[in-house]
Amino acid sequence: MKHVIKTLVLIALALQISCEPAENPSLFPRGEGIFLLNEGNFNAGNGSVSFYSTETRQIYNDLFSAENKRALGDIPSFMAVDGNRGFIVVNNSGTVEAVDLLTMESLGTVTGLSSPRQMVIDGNNGYVSSLTEDEITVIDLEKTEKSGKLEIGSASEAMVITGGRLFSAHWSGGNSIVVTDLGSGDVVRSVTVGLEPESMALDKNGRLWVLCTGGWMGEEIPRIVRINMVTLEKEAEFFFRTVDDNPSSLTLNEARDTLFYLDEGVRRMPVTADEMPAVAFIPAGNRLFYKLLIGSDGKIYVTDAIDYQQKGDLLIYNREGELLDSEQAGIIPGFMIQRVD
């Protein structure tokens, strides 16, 4: 009889353990992959975060809201990464959301920002650009709060930090790259480029490449400008065809020897080239290519916003431009950043 009772107790304990939910079950796998910010519809507050696992080749959507039981906000436009922490810039909500990149748990929220755009990190400081303010907000990453500002005299978009200096693109109606010394906080130079510099990348030779859209109304022909970082002078310009061209999303491969950007598809251009490519490496066709990322393995990630209303797609191509995978993301899939083990 004692053996029967003991057996029943063990069975009951096993059933109890098996029925208990796993503690903090993961919403998405660890390992390498791509974080994707879905902007959502303007003023709808339905921005979201997705993760594409390069190991499972699956996409996992709505991660922030599922983990935190609340919405992320309106128009998440950029994410900076510091170790296992991500800092999501939520443009129309005026916030930066700090998250754990392994769980997507919120670690704190910086509020009261004016149309924040992008963010770069240097040590414990995060620098946030603004569409509407003539200053860059400084954030203390450990405290997740504003700690200061840099007066730069213009609105700003893309940023690059190198050699103790912050290079910020005067995007909204501007045509310059403002150079700020991070030690003193003073503006030390302004380099004139084309109208509305939208994206920037630093190549293997230490030269800064700047894609200028030519203005929202097509005021001038778009161009890509190369800046000598020793003299802080413009040393080369590559012009697009007409004012109707709409290039964006300039970036580099892992070796930083080849430029990639969007213009009627994906185009690529060696940093040693004397002229721009005549045709797209990956034609967009009837897709609406929106944002671009080159993975460390050479794969090409492109988002298709479709019509800026419905859920869009994440497209993955190999080095040769062949489509490998297509996954449905959220509404207006935009900025991407890679997680590497």
Beta-bridge mates of residue 238: 224
pLDDT in tens, 99-113: 999 999 999 999 999
Residues 6 or more apart whose CB falls under 8 angstroms from that of 165 comprise 179, 180, 181, 182, 188
- What residue has token string 């697009």? 240
Question: How much is the pLDDT for 19?
Answer: 36
pLDDT in tens, 40-83: 999 999 999 999 999 999 999 999 999 999 999 999 999 999 99
238 within 8 A of 275, measured Cβ to Cβ: yes
By C-alpha distance, which of 96, 104, 44 is closest to 69?
Answer: 104
User: In angstroms, rounded to a whole number, what is the distance separating the alpha carbons of residues 278 and 237?
Assistant: 16
312 within 8 A of 336, measured Cβ to Cβ: no
Q: How far is CA 296 from the centre of its chain?
A: 15
Question: How much is the pLDDT for 112?
Answer: 98
pLDDT in tens, 194-207: 999 999 999 999 99
Over the range 304-327, which residues count as b (16 or more CB within 10 Å of their CB) and which as e?
bbbeeeeebbbbbbeeeeeeebeb
The arithmetic mean of pLDDT across residues 135-160, rounded, is 98
**In the 8-state DSSP scheme, what is residue 93?**
G
Question: How much is the pLDDT for 139?
Answer: 99
Does pLDDT of 32 surpass 50? yes
By C-alpha distance, which of 236, 235, 243, 283 is closest to 263?
Answer: 283
Under the banding of pLDDT at 50, 70 and 90, the label for residue 1 is very low
Does pLDDT of 286 surpass 80? yes
By C-alpha distance, which of 207, 212, 206, 242 is closest to 224?
Answer: 212
Under the banding of pLDDT at 50, 70 and 90, the label for residue 2 is very low
Does pLDDT of 340 surpass 90? no
Is the Cα dihedral 87, 292, 34, 69 positive or negative?
positive
By C-alpha distance, which of 30, 31, 48 is closest to 39?
Answer: 48
Q: What are the distances in angstroms from CA 271 to CA 168, 206, 226, 235, 285?
A: 21, 11, 9, 13, 26
The strands making up 85-90's β-sheet, listed across from edge to edge, are 76-82, 85-90, 95-100, 106-110
User: In angstroms, rounded to a whole number, what is the distance separating the alpha carbons of residues 87 and 335?
Assistant: 13
Task: Dig out the tokens for 207 from the structure.
Answer: 């030269």
Question: How much is the pLDDT for 171?
Answer: 85
Does pLDDT of 176 surpass 70? yes
333 within 8 A of 305, measured Cβ to Cβ: yes
Q: What are the distances in angstroms from CA 29 to CA 52, 70, 72, 189, 215?
A: 9, 21, 20, 45, 41
Under the banding of pLDDT at 50, 70 and 90, the label for residue 6 is very low
Average pLDDT, the chain: 93
Residue 13 backbone phi and psi in degrees, to 5: -65, -40
Does pLDDT of 269 surpass 60? yes
Does pLDDT of 18 surpass 50? no
Task: Dig out the tokens for 340 from the structure.
Answer: 């590497």
| pTM for this prediction | 0.92
